[in-house]
Structure 1
Amino acid sequence: MQLLSYGEFAAKDGCPFEVPGGKWLMDTQTFAALKANTSHQTLI
């Protein structure tokens, strides 16, 4: 399981270096694309 922050975020080591502004962005559009392009399953 991986948890991602909503909004802008960066790693403690300073990543990402290749992204303008030095932060990744998780928003509704990005989450929808991530969900559509990864395999996932729900465990109960």
Structure 2
Amino acid sequence: MSPASTQQFRNLVGTNIANDRFELLSVLGLGAYGVVYLARDREH
């Protein structure tokens, strides 16, 4: 896989998802099918 093909994913670090329940803290992994993020549960 070329580096250009991995650049199609937006960096969502700092974004809140699921009605602000989870905050994406950092990227754990990046591959051909997606990105895995470390997230913090803001309700616990």
TM-score by length of 1: 0.28
Q: Which has the higher strand share?
A: 2
TM-score by length of 2: 0.28
